[in-house]
Amino acid sequence: MSHPPIPPVLASIIARITAAVPARARVTFLDLLLGAAVTKGGHVTDAILAGGLSRGWSTYYWFLEQGRWSWLRLWAALLEVLTMLFQPPVWYAVIDDSVVERVSSEAPGSLTHHNHTAKPNRPKFLR
């Protein structure tokens, strides 16, 4: 059974994103990245199962919970990919409340709600 070749653009995108993760964790990250790309649900469990389960469940859990890799380096790699593919004169960024929470009493929709992320440096209830 013959597999179609991977397009060079896709291979370079995957290489740039994977290079943002430490070398020791790249295979685990690549399993999760490609597994997430082929699933429809977007859950980590689906990504692990779609990736072929080349490692144990605890390896993926440890990578996500305690792995020593940087979200900032990963975002920088994603931005490099975007600038490699697209070159508009102006870039616009939209950051919603799931990334930056509204805490101003004057902000619309800043009603008191439960902080489901449960980060240790944030109050349990936000305003």
39-87: pLDDT as tens digits: 888 788 888 888 777 888 888 888 888 888 888 899 899 999 999 899 8
Residue 21 banded pLDDT, cuts 50, 70, 90: very high
Sequence ranges of the domains in the chain = 8-85, 94-127
Work out the angle between the directed axes of helices 8-18 and 71-85 (0-180°, nearest 10). 150
Whole-angstrom Cα distance, residue 108 to residue 85?
36
Q: What sections of the chain are H helices per DSSP?
A: 8-18, 26-38, 44-50, 57-66, 71-85
Q: What is the mean pLDDT of the chain?
A: 80
Report the C-alpha gap between 61 and 47 in whole angstroms. 12
Distance of CA 11 to the CA centre of its chain: 18
8 Å CB contact between 59 and 40? no
